[in-house]
Structure 1
Amino acid sequence: MRTGDFDFALPDALIAQSPARPRDSARLLDVRTDGLADRIVSALPELLEPGDLLVVNDTRVIPARLRARRGEAGIELLLNRSEGGGRWHALARNAKKLHPGDALEILGAPELPARVVERQDGGAVIVDFGPDEAALLSALERAGEVPLPPYIARPGGPGAADREDYQTVFADRPGAVAAPTASLHFTPALLAALDARGIERVTVTLHVGAGTFLPVRGENPREHRLHSEWGEITPEAAARINAARRVVSVGTTALRLLESAAREDGTVAPFRGLTDLFLLPGHRFRTASLLLTNFHLPRSTLFMLVCAYAGTERVRAAYEHAIQQGYRFYSYGDATLLRREDPS
């Protein structure tokens, strides 16, 4: 297996720069074992059955991109993961100019304490913002930028609309620096239709980190390492998942968390902690029977994941169809509904 096996030609014009309005009017490619069907997201209730359980990620995106100064040097920080006690793992531009003990002035929030604790490989640093988490979140709201992925062009920086557009209806627990994008398609009207159909849902939490943006650079994807992300499946959520008629994962983030907590018999254990699980073809999925997800970029860890889940041949055929039909890709793009390909 080589990284090049997951390459394909994607026209830049198909990378969505803004979401569909309303969100549930986005297109939905229904990938079935017997073919493909072009639908829209608002038709999702018709594609599911009463008693199905949607597993959704309730993480909330924080304005995690900060601009700072160390003396005369300009520094950009992308907060990646809370380490607890006010310390954050962050990716830093100009990281070589930072050293343990350096004090940083956060532009727009100069009262916020910020001190470099450690410099790590790959441009990562540990920054201590002090123990007052509420003060940090308040400063982020004032001084931080929505951490849009680099393929969404905002030459002047994210706009006011992005603060709402890049947040899901399930967003509750602050900590993500990237949205669980499959959930961006849900609206109150769609949720009401799902409720009326008897389709249930449960929330889990995976704080999506900046590593989701990093490409697979080497030609052996097994050598690629994901940044660890913090997740939680409560005992109550695990019990509901295990009792469900059929589990539908809303997004790859929820699926990675489910698989991180999966037992050999396919049940899910309560989970609280870090996961760096990288799902590649050959992985035996134990949990969700269906996956609702967006269209992903070539050579990305997420495209590899959907190939692992639904079968590389079937996914390649679906993506070829999507490109021919002008589906929109990635965070603000359209969606696909995939069935798990179980090994024979």
Structure 2
Amino acid sequence: MLKLTDFDYLLPKELIAQYPLEQRDSARLLVLNRAKSTIEHCVFKDIIDYFNKNDLLVLNNTKVLPSRLIGSRKTGGKVEILLLNRNKGFSFNALIRPSRVKINEKIIFNGNGISCEVSASNQVTFLVKDIAEIYALGKTPLPPYIKREPIDLDAIYYQTVYAKAQGSIASPTAGLHFSEELLKEIKAKGINLGYVTLHIGYSTFAPVKSEDITQHKMQKEVFSISSQTQELLEVAQLKKGRIIAVGTTSLRAIETFSQTGETQGTTDLFIYPGYNFKIADCLLTNFHLPRTTLFMLAAAFATDRLIKKAYQEAIEKKYRFYSYGDAMLII
């Protein structure tokens, strides 16, 4: 049995990055070579040295919505709402704090200008005419381990430079390290860039509660792979190039495609040790929280032994962890 406790590790809190670096590609990069069981350390912009002509980078071009809203109850009490997936009209599934907010209760935003009603458990419905009115109230939905309020810079740095398709409540953080200049250099070296879209939802953060991790169920997330990216995947395989997934979401999108042949729809693919990877040859990823599906995916790709070795070395060398932290390339 794959136990939840097998995916635990201790991280000093001071290593959790609270702010982004001014220069995206100045982050540190740990390179884990599975065949040689070796670890190297460099600066992220040097990642190009690990790519070869005819390799394909697969990047998730989802864009983070300003989905964190702060409102007030009629009593004056503060209410925080994280908008998840949209239902019909202006109704959303949502995480609402405090949980004692009652069904049919009205939440007021922006003075008395806009309001919503708690229409069901974990669901809110807005009284507006345009979706833009709702997101105009929102802030960047920083993850809870970033212990500060969002600032204007987060609206820039918590998006990848290639973000295009709106729909996520979290950033595909492995891609945050790429600057426009670095992407140009990568293309000039004969390395292709292919884009997929996977809108990151609450499933990414939902805690694994079952001690037997195989009993955990992922929530469905919307994904799509363009015909152009499908062609690039074929070309890379024909020319013996490597398919390098930039982030766990890109990997899950292309693995879903490889398994099912579906180029759009939803995926609830849960990858953990024992999974047989069909298409991804390398993985670029950030350092993830313990006991999460993200860490389990990384362990599946690198092996449990090597991923723990890499994390321990990253901790010893004081790498910055999580969303605004440093990166790891698994080759």
* TM-score normalised per structure 2: 0.90
Contact kept? 1:55, 1:201, Cα under 8 Å: yes
- Following TM superposition, by how much is the alpha carbon of 1:92 offset from its aligned partner in structure 2, in angstroms? 1.5
Q: Which moved more, 1:198-207 or 1:61-70?
A: 61-70
Structure 2, unmatched stretches of 5+, are none
Q: Is it true that 1:259 corresponds to 2:255 in the alignment?
A: yes
Tell me what 2:82 maps to: 78
Tell me what 1:64 maps to: 67
Secondary structure of 1:193's aligned partner? helix
Distance, in Å, in 2 between the alignment partners of 1:128 and 1:83 is 9
Tell me what 2:158 maps to: 166
**Cα-to-partner distance string for 1:68-90 (whole Å, 9 max, x where unaligned):** 34543643211122335433221
Match of 2:201 among 198, 205, 209: 209
Q: Which amino acid aligns with 1:88?
A: F
Structure 1, unmatched stretches of 5+, are 120-124, 340-344
Contact kept? 2:73, 2:107, Cα under 8 Å: yes
**Cα-to-partner distance string for 1:166-207 (whole Å, 9 max, x where unaligned):** 111011111111100001001011111101111111111111
Question: How does 1:85-100 map onto structure 2 within 5 Å?
Answer: 85-99=89-103
Distance, in Å, in 2 between the alignment partners of 1:84 and 1:262 is 32
Secondary structure of 1:45's aligned partner? helix
Question: How does 1:182-331 map onto structure 2 within 5 Å?
Answer: 182-244=174-236, 245-263=241-259, 269-331=261-323
Distance, in Å, in 1 between the alignment partners of 2:141 and 2:297 is 23
Q: Which amino acid aligns with 2:252?
A: R
Q: Which amino acid aligns with 1:79?
A: L
Question: Aligned-pair RMSD on alpha carbons?
Answer: 2.1
Contact kept? 2:74, 2:108, Cα under 8 Å: no
Contact kept? 2:192, 2:232, Cα under 8 Å: no
Secondary structure of 1:18's aligned partner? coil
Q: Is it true that 1:53 corresponds to 2:64 in the alignment?
A: no
Question: How does 1:322-341 map onto structure 2 within 5 Å?
Answer: 322-339=314-331
Match of 1:40 among 30, 34, 43: 43
Q: Which moved more, 1:107-116 or 1:174-183?
A: 107-116
Contact kept? 1:179, 1:208, Cα under 8 Å: yes
- Following TM superposition, by how much is the alpha carbon of 1:117 offset from its aligned partner in structure 2, in angstroms? 4.0
Q: Which amino acid aligns with 2:93?
A: H
Contact kept? 1:129, 1:136, Cα under 8 Å: no
Distance, in Å, in 2 between the alignment partners of 1:292 and 1:109 is 44
**Cα-to-partner distance string for 1:293-325 (whole Å, 9 max, x where unaligned):** 001122121111100111111111111111111
Contact kept? 1:85, 1:131, Cα under 8 Å: no
Q: Is it true that 1:128 corresponds to 2:125 in the alignment?
A: yes
Q: Return closer, same or farther for 1:42/1:262 CA change in 2, 3 Å cut-off.
A: same
Tell me what 1:108 maps to: 110
Contact kept? 2:62, 2:199, Cα under 8 Å: yes
Q: Return closer, same or farther for 1:257/1:131 CA change in 2, 3 Å cut-off.
A: farther
Q: Return closer, same or farther for 1:103/1:136 CA change in 2, 3 Å cut-off.
A: farther
Contact kept? 2:258, 2:279, Cα under 8 Å: yes
**Cα-to-partner distance string for 1:75-111 (whole Å, 9 max, x where unaligned):** 3211122335433221112345332xx2634412854
Distance, in Å, in 2 between the alignment partners of 1:181 and 1:223 is 27
Question: How many percent of aligned residue pairs carry the same amino acid?
Answer: 40
Distance, in Å, in 1 between the alignment partners of 2:167 and 2:300 is 28
Secondary structure of 1:262's aligned partner? helix
Distance, in Å, in 2 between the alignment partners of 1:106 and 1:200 is 48
Match of 2:146 among 152, 161, 167: 152
- Following TM superposition, by how much is the alpha carbon of 1:255 offset from its aligned partner in structure 2, in angstroms? 0.9
Contact kept? 2:73, 2:108, Cα under 8 Å: no
Distance, in Å, in 2 between the alignment partners of 1:272 and 1:109 is 41
- Following TM superposition, by how much is the alpha carbon of 1:159 offset from its aligned partner in structure 2, in angstroms? 1.4
Distance, in Å, in 2 between the alignment partners of 1:178 and 1:285 is 25
Tell me what 1:28 maps to: 29
Q: Return closer, same or farther for 1:327/1:111 CA change in 2, 3 Å cut-off.
A: same
Match of 1:140 among 135, 138, 156: 135
Q: Which amino acid aligns with 1:78?
A: L
Distance, in Å, in 1 between the alignment partners of 2:140 and 2:25 is 22
Distance, in Å, in 2 between the alignment partners of 1:220 and 1:106 is 42
Secondary structure of 1:147's aligned partner? coil
Contact kept? 2:107, 2:116, Cα under 8 Å: yes
Q: Which amino acid aligns with 1:90?
A: A
